[in-house]
C-alpha cells in the first residue's frame, strides 16, 4: 500500500514557528509524509524577521522536479511567494498535475498592515497560480487586495475561497467558505490569552491540505483543520522568554 504524501511550497522559519517548519509539523501530526520546496530562507523569531534570502529560481524548479511525480503527493499548500519568476515556475509545474489538491495561502499583507510582496507578484498570483487552486485562504486584508469577499473572489477566479475572519458578528471572527453554490460559516470558541498564535495561518492551510490528502471534501477538511488549529493554540507552550510555539 502506498500512503499519501503532502507537499509544502513555502519559506523556512529559523524559529520553527511558521512556514515550512510549521507545515511539516502539521503533516507529521496527521501521520502523513511531508515533502518540501523552500522558496525563501528567513532569519526570524516570533518578534521580527531580520533577514531574508531567496534561492535562485532554477533551484526552486529543481526542488519541484525532484518530488513531483516521484512521491504520492495527494495535496499541497503554498505559502508566501515574493518573486514573480518563482510564481511562474511553480504555476507551470503544478498545471501539469491537476490530480493534486492545491491550497493557496496568498500571504501578502502582514497583521501590522505591512505589504510583504510586490504588486507584480500579486498580479502573477492572480493570473497564474490562484486559478489552479482547489482552495484559496486569504485573510480579510488579502481578500480585499484580491478583489472582494468569498463570493466575489469565486466569481473572479473560479475556485473555492475561504476568507479567514470574513464575517465579524458581535466582535467574533467567523471564517467564510464559498465554493460556487453554498456559503459555509466556521467558528470556534475564542481562546483567551494563548501562549502563542504565531504560525496559525500556515498551520491552518497545512492542516486543510492534510485533510484533503486523506480524502475529505472541502467542508470536512476545513472543519477538521480548524479543530486542529484550535487545539494547537490551546496547547501552545513556552520555548523561551515570552516565546511560545503551537502544539498538536
Q: Are 199 and 247 in contact (CB under 8 A)?
A: no
Q: Which residues are catalytic?
A: 164, 197, 199-202
What is the rounded distance in angstroms from the CA atom of residue 214 to the CA atom of residue 199?
23
What is the rounded distance in angstroms from the CA atom of residue 43 to the CA atom of residue 34?
22
For 206, other C-beta atoms within 10 Å of its C-beta total 35
H or E element that contains 8: strand 5-13
Q: Are 22 and 174 in contact (CB under 8 A)?
A: no
What is the rounded distance in angstroms from the CA atom of residue 206 to the CA atom of residue 25?
9
Q: CA-based angle 21:27:33, to the nearest 5?
A: 105
Amino acid at each position: 500500500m502506498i500512503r499519501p504524501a503532502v507537499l509544502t511550497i513555502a519559506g523556512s522559519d529559523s524559529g520553527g514557528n511558521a512556514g515550512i517548519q510549521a507545515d511539516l509539523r502539521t503533516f507529521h501530526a496527521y501521520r502523513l509524509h511531508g515533502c518540501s520546496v523552500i522558496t525563501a530562507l528567513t532569519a526570524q523569531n516570533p518578534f521580527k524577521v531580520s533577514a531574508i534570502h531567496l534561492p535562485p529560481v532554477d533551484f526552486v524548479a529543481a526542488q519541484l522536479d525532484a518530488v513531483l511525480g516521484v512521491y504520492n503527493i495527494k495535496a499541497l499548500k503554498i505559502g508566501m511567494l515574493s518573486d514573480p519568476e518563482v510564481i511562474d515556475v511553480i504555476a507551470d509545474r503544478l498545471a501539469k498535475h491537476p490530480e493534486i489538491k492545491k491550497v493557496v495561502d496568498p500571504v501578502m499583507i502582514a497583521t501590522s498592515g505591512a505589504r510583504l510582496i510586490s504588486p507584480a507578484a500579486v498580479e502573477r498570483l492572480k493570473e497564474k497560480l490562484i486559478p489552479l487552486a482547489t482552495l484559496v485562504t486569504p485573510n480579510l486584508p488579502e481578500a480585499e487586495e484580491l478583489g472582494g469577499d468569498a463570493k466575489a473572489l469565486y466569481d473572479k477566479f473560479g475556485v473555492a475561497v475561504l476568507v479567514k475572519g470574513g464575517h465579524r458578528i458581535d466582535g467574533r471572527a467567523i471564517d467564510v467558505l464559498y465554493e460556487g453554490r453554498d456559503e459555509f460559516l466556521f467558528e470556534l470558541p475564542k481562546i483567551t490569552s494563548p501562549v502563542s498564535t504565531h504560525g496559525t495561518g500556515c498551520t491552518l492551510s497545512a492542516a486543510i491540505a492534510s485533510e484533503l490528502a486523506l480524502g475529505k471534501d472541502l467542508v470536512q477538511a476545513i472543519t477538521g483543520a480548524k479543530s486542529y488549529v484550535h487545539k494547537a493554540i490551546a496547547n501552545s507552550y513556552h520555548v523561551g522568554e515570552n516565546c511560545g510555539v503551537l502544539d498538536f
